[in-house]
Amino acid sequence: MTRFGIDPLAQYRDKGSQVRPITLLNKNLKESQPGLTADRHHHYLHALLGGYQSSWQYSEEDLKRFDANIIEHTDALNQQREVEVEWKYFQWLTLLFVEIYLFEYFRSREALKESLNAQVDRFNTFGKGRGTKRALAATRTKTLISSACKTPPAPVKRC
């Protein structure tokens, strides 16, 4: 969410009520209808772009490309189904986050690792300041991400 100018550790209010940070992103998406527009982009993308801010780390073109990837994979999935998949707003937002993660991973694994580790450190510092005993294991995360950066992912075993 930080890539969209939203600090997940900050307090946010909407119409006087405290809300979760993700609410700032999905508020307009909830009201959008599922499916594609005439330009073959999700209605959700258009809702997201309606609130576009220059502080976001991705351009409108980047977001359109991520959405096009989601559509391409959804089309491939739907070819093998009788009933087509039509994503709900929260599913689409999850897929968008996956696209962003993959983009960052293949663009610069080291930069992604540093960014994730910085967020782990922020989370742990934030938790200590609030007396929270729950913290992310930064060392383990750093090791795990470092390992992923050095070796290709192992094949997934089928059940």
Q: Tell me the per-residue pLDDT of 121-130, one tens digit each, with 9 for 90 and over.
A: 888 887 776 6
How big is the CA angle at 142 (ends 138 and 146), to the nearest 5 degrees? 175
My answer on whether 14 and 71 are in the same domain is yes
Is pLDDT above 90 for 81?
yes
My answer on whether 77 and 113 are in the same domain is no
My answer on whether 89 and 14 are in the same domain is yes
Domain interval for residue 9: 2-107
Mean per-residue pLDDT, 102-129: 85
Average pLDDT over the chain reads 81
* Residues 8 and 2 sit within 8 Å (Cβ to Cβ): yes
Total number of domains constituting the chain:
2
Is pLDDT above 50 for 156?
no
My answer on whether 121 and 69 are in the same domain is no
Highest mean pLDDT among 11-25, 43-57, 93-107, 127-141: 93-107
Is pLDDT above 70 for 93?
yes
Contacts of 70-76 with CB under 8 Å at 24 or more apart are: 70/42, 70/95, 70/96, 70/99, 71/36, 71/40, 71/41, 71/42
* Residue finishing a domain among 107, 122, 151: 107
Q: Phi/psi at 52 (nearest 5 deg)?
A: -55, 140
What is the distance between the alpha carbons of residues 50 and 101, in angstroms, rounded to a whole number?
A: 22
What is the pTM assigned to this prediction? Answer: 0.75
My answer on whether 16 and 87 are in the same domain is yes
My answer on whether 99 and 122 are in the same domain is no
My answer on whether 52 and 130 are in the same domain is no
Q: What 3-state DSSP class applies to 146?
A: helix
* Residue finishing a domain among 87, 107, 127: 107
Is pLDDT above 90 for 19?
no
